């Protein structure tokens, strides 16, 4: 046979086109997209279904240490199993440098966690907490050469915050080695101050997590990051934007011609601060605690405006899973104050269904935009294009076959990760992934996992075209 696999009868949707076409696959790659493809060893009937590039989730946390807090519930095996079940075929988690550790050693440790255990391909961003001269001068340039072509910096958290000078130093280094810097924009001092005042007033419930870090705090940090980036003429990506305030800063910068990019996430279109109030004893508000926190309905609308206006290039999960039990969100320590509730929620499996359900199915975005936001733009932004992110000859055969008419209610019993809850429990959506193909192999069908840990391999990423001035 000419092909190992063909996908026949479906409608191929890319970031730019929607066409009725068959897809031919050989040796894990797409080799033909044509009206009619015959002569394949195996064939999938996609009649009535959409054939789209597999999702690329450029913002997930797997097996990341937590400085004494509860352990993250997903490592690479369960996290990527959840990913493929949700239609995502590439993940980009973080390799985090604990302060004082050498970055190369950190990267090697993450490879031990990931290699041979992942159901889909993966790369790493580098979280820089300690920009020492040797990190900036030797380690980072060498790691960029080796395919770790993006960094993340934090403007908050005791164990990770960089001051303005350190931020500038990392930006300068990134400019030199053409790495793309992702910025967690929330202001350290303001959050610390607000947290202390809330605790003094006895306001320690999970809901006050959101009150301790309002949108103003995010906007201030976004503006500061943009200003510093402009000072050094370096592109940046502001991640997990939660609402109007930070979105407007990015839009303002883009309007001035600055290379400032934006990412948003499911929690900012599907959750609100009220979720952190918790409905009853069984539904602790801690289940929705993440940073930046979910805001309100007006913020959700602002996020849609940002999506429609092209302010946001990527829609990522920020999957950062902690159990909702006494060993996680409801640990005895976490019950004493919101400040001990681990920040982060699961979402790698539900990302695509949430965006389709709330976006495409409700007429807010089109299918091509959906593909751009969930796959193509991630590949372009992070040096994976034209290997990943489209359906055309030469691309890896990472494909999701999507049923736009299938109605589902998101619920924990459907999930494939290790976390014990989904923050989107009860959300009714139309549109669902029915098959996920990883490098030409059917890896998940109707929720049944057919792939294996080890199917995924490390992606040595190229320089981001967006990181160059």
- Give least dist CB 170 to ligand DUC, A: 16
- Give least dist CB 138 to ligand DUC, A: 27
- Give least dist CB 256 to Zn ion, A: 25
Cβ closest to ligand DUC, residue 135 vs residue 182: 182
Query: If contact means CB under 5 to 8 A according to the sort of partner, which of Zn ion, ligand DUC, none does residue 420 touch?
Result: none
Residue 291 interacts with ligand DUC (CB under 6 A): yes or no: yes
Tell me the CA end-to-end span of the chain in Å, nearest whole number. Answer: 47
- Give least dist CB 239 to ligand DUC, A: 6
- Give least dist CB 276 to ligand DUC, A: 14
Cβ closest to ligand DUC, residue 51 vs residue 239: 239
User: Where is 268: in which H helix or E strand?
Assistant: helix 267-270
Provide DSSP, 168-207.
HHHHHHHHHHTPEEEEE---HHHHHHHHHHHHHTT--STH
Angle between helices 215-232 and 188-200 (to 10 degrees): 160
* CA–CA dist 263, 312 (Å, integer): 5
Binding ligand DUC (rule: CB under 6 A), the pick from 81, 175, 184, 378 is 184
Cβ closest to ligand DUC, residue 87 vs residue 347: 347
Check if the beta carbon of residue 334 is closer than 8 Å to that of residue 340.
yes
- Give least dist CB 339 to ligand DUC, A: 13
CA 316 to chain CA mean position, Å: 3
Binding site for Zn ion (CB under 5 A): 184, 318
Count of residues engaged in binding ligand DUC, rule: CB under 6 A: 9
Residue 97 interacts with ligand DUC (CB under 6 A): yes or no: no
Query: If contact means CB under 5 to 8 A according to the sort of partner, which of ligand DUC, Zn ion, none does residue 317 touch?
Result: none
Binding ligand DUC (rule: CB under 6 A), the pick from 24, 344, 346, 383 is 344
Cβ closest to ligand DUC, residue 139 vs residue 318: 318
CB under 8 Å to 145, separation ≥6 — which residues? none
Q: Residue-wise over 45-78: b if at least 16 C-beta within 10 A, else e?
A: ebeebbbbbbbbbbbbbbbbebeebbebbbbbbb
* CA–CA dist 424, 357 (Å, integer): 12
Cβ closest to Zn ion, residue 184 vs residue 461: 184
Pairing of strands 448-449, 441-445: antiparallel
* CA–CA dist 176, 31 (Å, integer): 37
CB under 8 Å to 101, separation ≥6 — which residues? 130
- Give least dist CB 8 to ligand DUC, A: 40
Query: If contact means CB under 5 to 8 A according to the sort of partner, which of Zn ion, ligand DUC, none does residue 343 touch?
Result: ligand DUC
Judged by CB under 6 A, the chain residues 297 through 326 that form the site for ligand DUC are 318, 320
Residue 287 interacts with ligand DUC (CB under 6 A): yes or no: no
Contact residues for ligand DUC (CB under 6 A)? 61, 184, 240, 290-291, 318, 320, 343-344
């Amino acid at each position: 046979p000419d092909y190992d696999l063909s996908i026949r009868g479906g409608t191929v949707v890319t970031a730019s086109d929607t066409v009725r076409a068959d897809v031919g696959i050989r040796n894990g790659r797409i080799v033909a997209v044509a009206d009619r493809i015959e002569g394949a060893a195996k064939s999938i009937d996609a009649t009535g279904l959409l054939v789209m590039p597999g999702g690329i989730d450029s913002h997930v946390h797997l097996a990341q240490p937590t400085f004494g807090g509860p352990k993250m519930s997903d490592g690479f095996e369960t996290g990527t199993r959840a990913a493929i079940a949700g239609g995502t075929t590439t993940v980009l988690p973080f390799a985090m440098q604990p302060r004082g550790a050498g970055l190369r050693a950190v990267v090697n440790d993450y490879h031990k966690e990931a290699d041979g255990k992942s159901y889909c391909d993966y790369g790493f961003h580098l979280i820089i907490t300690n920009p020492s001269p040797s990190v900036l001068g030797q380690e980072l340039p060498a790691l960029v050469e080796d395919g770790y072509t993006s960094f993340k910096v934090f403007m908050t958290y005791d164990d990770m915050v960089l001051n303005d000078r350190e931020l500038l130093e990392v930006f300068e280094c990134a400019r030199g080695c053409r790495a793309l810097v992702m910025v967690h924009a929330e202001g350290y001092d303001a959050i610390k101050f607000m947290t202390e005042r809330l605790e003094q007033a006895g306001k320690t419930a999970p809901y006050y997590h959101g009150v301790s870090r309002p949108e103003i705090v995010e906007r201030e940090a976004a503006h500061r990051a943009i200003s510093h980036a402009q000072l050094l003429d370096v592109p940046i990506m502001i991640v997990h934007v939660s609402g109007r305030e930070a979105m407007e800063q990015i839009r303002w910068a883009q309007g001035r011609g600055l290379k400032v990019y934006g990412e948003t996430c499911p929690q900012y279109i599907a959750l609100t601060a009220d979720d952190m109030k918790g409905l009853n004893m069984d539904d602790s508000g801690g289940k929705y605690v993440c940073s930046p926190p979910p805001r309100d309905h007006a913020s959700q609308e602002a996020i849609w405006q940002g999506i429609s206006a092209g302010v946001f290039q990527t829609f990522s999960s920020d999957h950062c899973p902690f159990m909702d039990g006494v060993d996680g969100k409801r640990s005895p320590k976490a019950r004493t104050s919101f400040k001990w509730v681990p920040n982060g929620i699961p979402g790698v499996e539900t990302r695509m269904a949430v965006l389709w359900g709330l976006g495409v199915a409700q007429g807010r975005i089109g299918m091509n935009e959906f593909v751009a936001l969930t796959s193509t733009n991630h590949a372009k932004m992070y040096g994976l294009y034209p290997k990943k992110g489209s359906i055309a000859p030469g691309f890896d055969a990472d494909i999701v076959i999507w049923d736009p008419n299938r109605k589902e209610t998101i619920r924990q019993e459907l999930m494939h990760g290790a976390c014990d809850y989904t923050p989107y429990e009860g959300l009714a959506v139309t549109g669902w992934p029915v098959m996920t193909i990883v490098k030409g192999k059917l890896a998940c069908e109707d929720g049944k996992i057919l792939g294996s840990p080890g199917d995924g391999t490390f992606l040595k990423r190229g320089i981001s075209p967006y990181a160059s001035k």
